[in-house]
Structure 1
Amino acid sequence: MTELVERSDSSQASDRSPAREKTTMSHIEQVHTNERVPGHPNYYEKNGVRTYGDGMDHDAEPKMSFQRMMSLIAMAFLWTGSQIPVYLFGGVPPIIYADIGGVDRWIWFVLANLLSLAAVCPFVGSISDLIGRRYVALIGASFIVVGMIICSTAHSMNIFICGMVFAGVGAGINELTALAATSELAPTSQRGKYVSVLIFTIVPFCPSVLWAQLIAAHGSWRYIGLLCGVWAGIGLVMTAVFYFPPPRVNSSGLSRNEILAQIDYVGGFLSIAGMLLFMMGMQWGGYQYPWTSVHTLVPLILGIVMLIGFFVWEAYGAKYPMFPKRLRQDPRVLALTLVITFISGANFFSILMFWPTQAFNVYGHDPVGVGIRGIPVGFSILTGACLVLYLISALKGQIRLLLVVSSILMTAGCGALAYAEQDNLHKLWGILILAGLGIGGIVVPASIITTIICPDDLIATVTALTLAIRVIGGSIGYTVYYNVFVNKFIPAATYHIGGFMALKLNITSVEIITDAIKLTGASLLGPIAELPGVTGVPGAYEGIVLAGQLAYAEAYKYVYYTSIAFGSVSIVAACFMGDIGKYMDDHVAVVM
């Protein structure tokens, strides 16, 4: 069925003089019934994806005014501010827990940040599409500032983790806001180029491990929090001063009560609680608690039940679901993109969580050396993301080849890191670059691909979905990787460290050998020199450290072997991906 709608340009809508009306031609346009948006008679989605009928000219890119430019710069600050806390703090964990304790739980400051990001994204994304980006972005930046204050003043690991939870909530809000706002301000065919410029602004922080090591070595790790807080604060101020997007078409003409009635509170509760419980159970299992313990099973099972409840509610119970069926305009591309996003999240975590510690544990603790070893990863991920984003626009949506190549590079690069030995660091630079290029070519581009094939009024919703899927994939991947790593490290450390101490130092005390292995596993090497039988013995400390490096090198191999299985799924999914050329028009979702 179709409706006949009289449509005129925005200039006509604003100029109703008799003379103007005599000289202006309006035309009749067919609007298919399935292009109507339920509950929103004020606009429609042409072909199910592009907003029209709201009185704005969506077919011409607005000129780059000062306000438009400053709005995009504000989004860049929000984007960068959402990324740098976990990257900078993640470069100096041993220095942090050596100061405030928490060697048994430090990994949770990274995981808490990422899990809170994933948990809030879907709910906040749907709210952002309904009520607008501005105030959502201001709240997100405020969360990061508060989180950094808590982290910088923490004197225990639990308080530090709490600060990273705040920062993670803010990071999730700001990352999806920056990506969604930039995407909707750009012509659809140019979204890749616009977003590539956005994420390129993180280039000063690509050597994040190096900066973090230098800050901690020459000052205090607490200054990292100051840097991140100030950066987020600048984004907060710039957003407040310059970013004034037009009212959302989703809520135009609705009363406050009608807007509130369209928020899926039940879905929000089930998704946030379900994801948090599920991912917390996944991370506790085999790390702090056995898989069979109540501490692991209860949140894991509750999380699964609540997530199942969420899917049932969204399908059958919600009047205004968080993920409307209108998202599925191109089901195959959407489904395969989410699969690839999930897998890239798992492989991203293999690099993000393991390479910085490997650079520290296998190749030495010199701050500059550790920082330099992290540079290829940061710059190559950024390069891969920017390059693929640009090519999405330049090749007019021919994404199959881009994703196949990126998936192959990611899988080959991550898998080839198993070649790493204690004495062959010089051979790894090219491998790290390949892995980074592949990961970068998927992590952000996948989000932008989904915004191109989804309705204009649901851009933040689908962006939030991809961010959540990426972190869930990373969470599951990390759980698998960590359990593989621990199961290989303990026997390797027993063989190398225990063997050296027993055969070379004549230390047969199980307690002393166990202490040496535990200190090595915690990357706290200084106290090893004070162990009985080591103190004052020439070469003893150095020998134990070398033995630990050999044990680490053996264990890390299996993490990267495991990543090949994840990457292979991504390659297969990419081969069946369809191109999106038919969506690559010059339509602008939000005219500003």
Structure 2
Amino acid sequence: MSTAHEARDGAIAPQATPTMTHQQVMLVYFGLLFAMLMATLDSSIVATAVPTIVGDLGGLDRIGWVGAAYILATSAVMPLAGKLGDLLGRKPVFLASTIVFLAGSAACGAAQSMTQLIVFRVVQGIGGGGVMAAMFALTGDLFSPRERAKYQGYSAGVFALSAIGGPLAGGFFSDHLTWRWVFYVNLPIGAIAFALVAVFLKGRTHVERPRIDYLGMLLLSGGLVALVLAANWAGTKYAWGSPVVIGLFTGAVALLVAWVLVERRAAEPVIPLHLFRDSTFDICNLVSLVAGLTGFGLVFFLPLYLQISSGASATNSGLLLLPMMFGLMIASFGVGGAVAKSGRYKWFPVASMAVSGIAAYLLSTMDADTGRVTSGFYMFLLGVGAGLSQQVVVVAVQNAAPPRDMGAATSTVTFSRMLGTSFGVSVFATILNHRLGHEIPRYLSAKDASRLPSGGSIGPGWLKHQPQSLRDGLAQAYAHALSPVFLTAAVILAVGFAASLFLKDVVLEQRGWGGADTETPAEAAG
């Protein structure tokens, strides 16, 4: 890999590029996998424990902020951390972010009130955003372009493992130990990640002090926070046309426009604007946005079908999502090996959009009588579709971006997926609520409809105490209301499919370390 950075005012200059043995590279990579597990496990494990947390600390009116505070902080920090990694070196950014994350985890576990917990979740999110940004970029530094797809595939497998194991672990801790362990469990995992990277990653030193774009960082983080808040609240907490949502979207646009104007003159812009002149960067961000919006956005609605229309318990509905996670892991590992062997990646995002679109259409055909095997197969296809592109777009962006901008480019495409997930939940929730207003009168009698709780808090525990006519009516109403949700996702995926066809057919180089027991530069890791 090239080690030279472009020399200009404020640019960093490497003093030396140390080498690493194959064993050192793999030990660092295992440390990154532990970091990935720690950062991704947090959201899924905490969600299961929230009811227990509220029972202990109170603050039911602020329950949504337990998750939102973490997501907002992570979203705002990720692009900034990617750029700081380019400027200061990814090793110090990774280690500092890990310390912040672990400090936030320990504080969350010791929180004595809901207010304290929310504040400490922000601290956790700041660390989590930095960890994820540095981790993906470091994987790009450690391996040659072809090998990156294979190792990014392993990272996707860890993500799927955390999605499966998180809810189970959260329930276990809440039932048999204490909810505080959903945060304390991060401490040993993070300590392993920190130690492996600190000891074995050999980084470069820089002889010039970088010029940090503080104004750009402030404007970008403010715009992203407003945008993510609007995406999370629109159609769920507030109506799309409410003053709050309109104000957030307006504020986000104003801040992001100001950010663009500032970045045009900045010596070291947070996200270099020249990246947007590369079609690979633009298309991969669009594909990532669509994949997050449809693949991970739909995950929030599949349990509704399984619990209300299919009659599964809350625990079983989580287990019934396993086919999707298995599909994601199988596709991620398979794609990683194929790209490493051939060096070509173009057709995997295309296939991802096509398979996901077919899966979304098939999901839209489900009704209350659809069998578990059939719905499981549809979810498996959805997982395969997600796995076909999840790591490929990261590899493509890293290959297209100049080495000095790899951190900023990587964190941008990762953020696009997170933003897509937020918008997906809001858009699909709006469609679902609108359709339920039409379907419930069709399938429920006036007497059964009068039994529905205010606020729509319908779950398996409430349903099992209701008359059979109400349960059957709700099963049909939800199945038919969810159908346009999945159909909308299929239409969005068709747009992603069309865009992915314009990806350049690039052959990845096999330079640097390619799997042999040789030495490799840890480029930009300093």
TM over 0.5: yes
User: Is there any run of 5+ residues in structure 2 with no aligned partner, and where?
Assistant: 514-519
Partner letter of residue 272 of structure 2?
P
Match of 1:550 among 468, 476, 481: 476
CA contact (8 A) 2:348 2:392 kept: no
Q: Give the aligned partner of residue 265 of structure 1.
A: 214
For residues 33-75 of structure 1, what are the alpha-carbon distances to aligned partners after superposition, in whole Å with 9 as ceiling and x for unaligned?
Answer: xx943248997xxxxxxxxx97659xxx95313x433222111
Partner letter of residue 269 of structure 1?
L
For residues 196-234 of structure 1, what are the alpha-carbon distances to aligned partners after superposition, in whole Å with 9 as ceiling and x for unaligned?
Answer: 334434564352344444554555554433334442343
CA RMSD of aligned residues (A): 3.4
Pair 1:443 & 2:390 matched: yes
Q: Alignment partner of 1:581: what SS?
A: coil
- If asked which structure has higher relative contact order (CA below 8 Å, sep 6+), I would say 2
Alignment of 1:304-453 (within 5 A): 304-315=253-264, 317-324=265-272, 327=275, 331-364=278-311, 366=313, 368-396=315-343, 398-424=344-370, 425-453=372-400
CA contact (8 A) 1:149 1:229 kept: yes
Q: Give the aligned partner of residue 68 of structure 1.
A: 25
Q: Give the aligned partner of residue 141 of structure 1.
A: 98
- 1:561–1:448 CA distance, 2 compared to 1 (3 A): same
Alignment of 1:552-591 (within 5 A): 552-581=478-507, 583-586=509-512, 590=522
Match of 2:234 among 254, 278, 285: 285
Alignment of 1:458-497 (within 5 A): 458-497=405-444
- 1:205–1:528 CA distance, 2 compared to 1 (3 A): closer
Report the CA distance between 1:151 and its aligned residue: 4.6
Partner letter of residue 366 of structure 2?
A
User: Is there any run of 5+ residues in structure 1 with no aligned partner, and where?
Assistant: 1-8, 11-30, 44-52, 503-509, 530-538
Q: Give the aligned partner of residue 517 of structure 2.
A: none
- 1:283–1:190 CA distance, 2 compared to 1 (3 A): closer
Report the CA distance between 1:476 and its aligned residue: 2.3
For these two proteins, the number of residue pairs brought into alignment is 515
Aligned partners of 1:228, 1:41: CA distance in 2, in Å?
A: 36
Q: Give the aligned partner of residue 253 of structure 1.
A: 207
Moved more, 442-451 or 160-169: 160-169
Q: Give the aligned partner of residue 224 of structure 1.
A: 182
CA contact (8 A) 2:349 2:392 kept: no
Q: Alignment partner of 2:301: what SS?
A: helix
Q: Give the aligned partner of residue 7 of structure 2.
A: 37
Q: Alignment partner of 1:301: what SS?
A: helix
Identity %: 19
Moved more, 200-209 or 153-162: 153-162
CA contact (8 A) 2:512 2:521 kept: no
Q: Give the aligned partner of residue 84 of structure 1.
A: 41
Aligned partners of 1:347, 1:475: CA distance in 2, in Å?
A: 10
CA contact (8 A) 1:217 1:367 kept: no
Report the CA distance between 1:183 and its aligned residue: 1.4
Q: Give the aligned partner of residue 505 of structure 1.
A: none
Q: Give the aligned partner of residue 522 of structure 1.
A: 457
Aligned partners of 1:91, 1:549: CA distance in 2, in Å?
A: 24
CA contact (8 A) 2:297 2:420 kept: no
Partner letter of residue 37 of structure 1?
A
Q: Alignment partner of 2:389: what SS?
A: helix
Partner letter of residue 232 of structure 1?
G
Aligned partners of 2:318, 2:240: CA distance in 1, in Å?
A: 35
Q: Give the aligned partner of residue 205 of structure 1.
A: 162
Aligned partners of 1:551, 1:387: CA distance in 2, in Å?
A: 39
CA contact (8 A) 2:17 2:204 kept: no
CA contact (8 A) 1:214 1:367 kept: no
For residues 407-460 of structure 1, what are the alpha-carbon distances to aligned partners after superposition, in whole Å with 9 as ceiling and x for unaligned?
Answer: 111121123212333332221111111111111222232112111121222221
CA contact (8 A) 1:488 1:555 kept: yes
CA contact (8 A) 2:284 2:397 kept: yes
CA contact (8 A) 1:279 1:300 kept: no
Aligned partners of 2:64, 2:312: CA distance in 1, in Å?
A: 19
The TM-score, its normalising length taken from structure 1, stands at 0.77
Q: Alignment partner of 1:321: what SS?
A: coil
Aligned partners of 1:561, 1:108: CA distance in 2, in Å?
A: 30
Q: Give the aligned partner of residue 235 of structure 1.
A: 193
CA contact (8 A) 1:115 1:471 kept: no
Partner letter of residue 79 of structure 2?
P
Aligned partners of 1:97, 1:364: CA distance in 2, in Å?
A: 27
CA contact (8 A) 1:85 1:167 kept: no
The TM-score, its normalising length taken from structure 2, stands at 0.86
For residues 307-326 of structure 1, what are the alpha-carbon distances to aligned partners after superposition, in whole Å with 9 as ceiling and x for unaligned?
Answer: 111112112x3122122356
For residues 262-293 of structure 1, what are the alpha-carbon distances to aligned partners after superposition, in whole Å with 9 as ceiling and x for unaligned?
Answer: 11111100110011012212322332223343
Report the CA distance between 1:163 and its aligned residue: 4.4
Q: Alignment partner of 1:399: what SS?
A: coil
CA contact (8 A) 1:150 1:162 kept: no
For residues 133-170 of structure 1, what are the alpha-carbon distances to aligned partners after superposition, in whole Å with 9 as ceiling and x for unaligned?
Answer: 22322232233334434554567766554444333322
Aligned partners of 2:187, 2:169: CA distance in 1, in Å?
A: 16
CA contact (8 A) 1:80 1:199 kept: no
- 1:541–1:100 CA distance, 2 compared to 1 (3 A): farther
Report the CA distance between 1:337 and its aligned residue: 1.2
Report the CA distance between 1:186 and its aligned residue: 1.1
For residues 237-283 of structure 1, what are the alpha-carbon distances to aligned partners after superposition, in whole Å with 9 as ceiling and x for unaligned?
Answer: 4434x2443225xxx221xxx32xx1111110011001101221232
- 1:74–1:342 CA distance, 2 compared to 1 (3 A): same
Moved more, 115-124 or 289-298: 289-298
Pair 1:302 & 2:251 matched: yes
- 1:232–1:42 CA distance, 2 compared to 1 (3 A): closer
- 1:367–1:562 CA distance, 2 compared to 1 (3 A): closer
